Structure 1
Amino acid sequence: MTIEGKIIDKFETQTINESFKKREFILEYAENPQYPEFLKFELTQSNCEQLDAIESGDEVVVNFNLKGRKWTDPKGEVKYFNNLQAWRINKKSSSVNDEATSEEEWTKKDFSQDEDLPF
């Protein structure tokens, strides 16, 4: 799944145990600007480092998976949890500029009139 929005806050990496770490951030999703949604995402393991290049206020594109778990507490009550697990986060403006740059490079290339085309 993919979503676009603005970074409102980002938190430090939490080491849960020796083999697991996570980092959370808040994304403002304003499909209806009058009533924006504030969504908490998490990055895990080596993906935590992706947030280092992102600042609060940056417009971003987030690729994520929706995760759900069932848990039975010690009293026998069943509880359900949802999690938005991000696996890629990119600044919105930089990806647009990269695409435009590569298109410009392609259209500005000099081609000889006698150059043989492969088709």
Structure 2
Amino acid sequence: MFKIQGTVKVINPTQVISDRFSKREFVIETQDTYPQQVIFQTTQDKCSLLDQVQLGEFVDVSFNLRGREWTSPQGEVKYFNTIEAWRIERVGQGTGIPSGGPSPMSLGVDPIPVAQTASALENNSDEADDLPF
């Protein structure tokens, strides 16, 4: 199981491949230094997960990587990967991290008050500076 967060960029309609198989694809853009556009697939009853999602929403996607081998009629072996989404949650709606990133409290770190930091700097400026530079 893997998780990734990003902004929903594309939501495609459900494709009915056969009477026993349907799929739906969507794309999210990550918020990394170099944003990535990642395409996901939902299948069967999971296609309806996208009915509650809007373009531009920031979401948390839980997914599995699926890989398979295929041999062509000519005997050539090829490999395929699928990113299979099985849960899509809006970030900030209960379990997600707010879009501004994790808060210091959620990381187990106490934030330093700004006023305390400024006064500590002022107190240090009165001390003799014995640094060689």
| Normalised-by-shorter TM-score class | 0.7 to 0.9
Unaligned runs of 5+ in 1: 98-119
Alignment of 1:35-114 (within 5 A): 35-96=34-95
Unaligned runs of 5+ in 2: 97-133
Q: Give the drift of 1:30.
A: 2.3
Q: Please give the alpha-carbon distance, in whole angstroms, between the structure 1 residues aligned to 2:17 and 2:55.
A: 24
Normalized against structure 1, the TM-score is what? Answer: 0.76
Greater relative contact order (Cα 8 A, min sep 6): structure 1 or 2? 1
Number of positions where the alignment pairs a residue of Structure 1 with one of Structure 2: 95
Q: Please give the alpha-carbon distance, in whole angstroms, between the structure 2 residues aligned to 1:9 and 1:95.
A: 24
What's the counterpart of residue 111 of structure 1? none
Q: Which protein has the larger Cα radius of gyration, Structure 1 or Structure 2?
A: 2
Q: Give the drift of 1:94.
A: 1.5
Identity, % of aligned positions = 43
Deviations 1:83-107 (A, max 9, x none): 100000011121258xxxxxxxxxx
Deviations 1:14-71 (A, max 9, x none): 0110111110000101221xx2100000011111001011011000000000000100
The question of 1:3 aligning with 2:4 is answered yes
Normalized against structure 2, the TM-score is what? Answer: 0.68
Q: Give the drift of 1:74.
A: 1.1
Q: Please give the alpha-carbon distance, in whole angstroms, between the structure 1 residues aligned to 2:25 and 2:68.
A: 18
Q: Please give the alpha-carbon distance, in whole angstroms, between the structure 2 residues aligned to 1:4 and 1:96.
A: 12
Describe the SS at the equivalent of 1:26. strand
Q: Which runs of 4+ in 1 moved over 6 A?
A: none
Q: 1:61 is matched by which residue type in structure 2?
A: D
